[in-house]
């Protein structure tokens, strides 16, 4: 199929389909961006009948962006990036060996460890976290990056994802290395990890997004304005019935927040579509 359609007409059709599908996901973002540039009172106009102005503002203003920055959104944006990136990096450092152990090594109790892993992600963390937040306070971890990052490292899904990948790597690779006398750490680092780039990217993505979307835990452990993360800073702009929600500022902040992970995703796409075949190792 691929060879057939790599001729240009097929490619053009596929691209068109790709654009239409992408538009189905993108139009709300266009609306949000438009609303971020709109004066507050025009945000709810132009829904019906649908017109070009539904998406494109007729009047522009930077007030919403100004409002978002005024309330310290810039700092929150920075905090989100630091916490999420650190969680991804540190998380990978500890989940890769754990996944390796669960898939490649053979030891008594492996089944039990696997079962416990499943239990850890079957319980919603933020709902059992209230006493833990209190403990973090006693350990002096409130309003610190450490306090925000630590729970993000306990990501059972990342371990499972990597484990699934490692379990699929042909056994002969490991056998050959063992015959050559290689230690397990070298095997993991020099054979499995290089093969696992897409899986590493995926696990890193899960760790990153898990922290990027976190809301309740940051509320419990970070109450100083300078330690707030993006999702909390945006929620601060929702005032309920008192004082009025600043919709424009919320959309402005959300769009700004979305830029960094999307850019990261854009630049890392090559890693996602790498295959074992292209890394030059045959099964």
Q: Which of residues 191-220 bind another protein (CB under 8 A)?
A: 198-199, 201-202, 205-206, 209, 212-213, 215-216, 219-220
Joined tokens for residue 10: 């097929």
Among 122, 180, 181, 280, binds another protein (CB under 8 A): 122
Among 62, 164, 190, 194, binds another protein (CB under 8 A): 164
Among 36, 133, 148, 193, binds another protein (CB under 8 A): 133
160 counts as binding another protein under rule CB under 8 A: yes
17 counts as binding another protein under rule CB under 8 A: yes
83 counts as binding another protein under rule CB under 8 A: no
Give the DSSP letter of residue 53: G
Among 53, 141, 157, 173, binds another protein (CB under 8 A): 157
Distance, CA of 111 to CA of 137 (rounded, Å): 35
Joined tokens for residue 273: 């579509």
181 counts as binding another protein under rule CB under 8 A: no
For 79, what's the count of Cα atoms within 13 Å in the CB-facing half-sphere? 27
Distance, CA of 208 to CA of 82 (rounded, Å): 10
237 counts as binding another protein under rule CB under 8 A: yes
Q: Which is nearer to another protein, 19 or 62 (CB)?
A: 19
Q: Which is nearer to another protein, 16 or 62 (CB)?
A: 16
Phi, psi of 7 (to 5 degrees): -75, 150
Binding mask 242-261 for another protein (x = CB under 8 A): xxxxxx--xx--x--xx-xx
CA distances in angstroms from 135 to 102, 123, 138, listed in the order given: 30, 19, 5
Name which of residues 23 to 82 contact another protein (CB under 8 A): 23, 25-26, 28-29, 31-32, 40-45, 47-50, 54, 70-72
Closest approach of another protein to the CB of residue 208, in Å = 10
148 counts as binding another protein under rule CB under 8 A: no
Give the DSSP letter of residue 191: I
CA distances in angstroms from 70 to 73, 209, 233, 238, listed in the order given: 7, 26, 11, 15
Question: Using omega within 30 degrees of 0 as the cis cutoff, is the peptide bond preceding 49 cis?
Answer: yes
Q: Which residue has the tokens 């056994």?
A: 171
Among 65, 77, 100, 192, binds another protein (CB under 8 A): 100
Distance, CA of 65 to CA of 35 (rounded, Å): 11
């Amino acid at each position: 199929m691929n060879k057939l359609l790599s001729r240009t007409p097929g490619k053009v059709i596929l691209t068109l389909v790709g654009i239409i599908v992408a538009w189905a996901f993108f139009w709300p973002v266009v609306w949000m961006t438009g609303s971020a540039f709109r004066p507050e009172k025009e945000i709810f106009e132009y829904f019906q009948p649908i017109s070009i102005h539904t998406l494109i503002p007729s009047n522009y203003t930077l007030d919403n962006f100004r409002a978002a920055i005024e309330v310290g959104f810039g700092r929150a944006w920075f905090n989100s990036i630091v916490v999420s990136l650190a969680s991804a990096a540190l998380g990978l450092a500890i989940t890769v060996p754990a996944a390796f152990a669960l898939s490649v090594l053979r030891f008594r109790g492996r089944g039990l460890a696997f079962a416990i892993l499943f239990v850890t992600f079957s319980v919603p963390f933020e709902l059992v976290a209230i006493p833990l937040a209190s403990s973090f306070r006693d350990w002096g971890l409130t309003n610190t990056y450490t306090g925000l990052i630590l729970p993000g490292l306990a990501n059972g899904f990342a371990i499972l994802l990597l484990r699934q990948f490692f379990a699929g790597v042909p056994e002969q690779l490991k056998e050959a290395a063992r015959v050559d006398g290689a230690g397990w750490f070298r095997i993991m680092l020099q054979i499995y990890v290089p093969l696992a780039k897409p899986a590493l990217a995926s696990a890193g993505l899960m760790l990153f997004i898990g922290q990027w979307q976190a809301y309740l835990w940051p509320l419990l452990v970070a109450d100083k304005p300078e330690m707030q993360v993006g999702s909390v800073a945006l929620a601060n702009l929702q005032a309920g019935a008192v004082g009025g929600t600043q919709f424009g500022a919320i959309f402005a902040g959300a769009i700004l927040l979305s830029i960094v992970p999307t850019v990261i995703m854009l630049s890392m796409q090559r890693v996602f579509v790498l295959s074992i075949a292209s890394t030059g190792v045959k099964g």
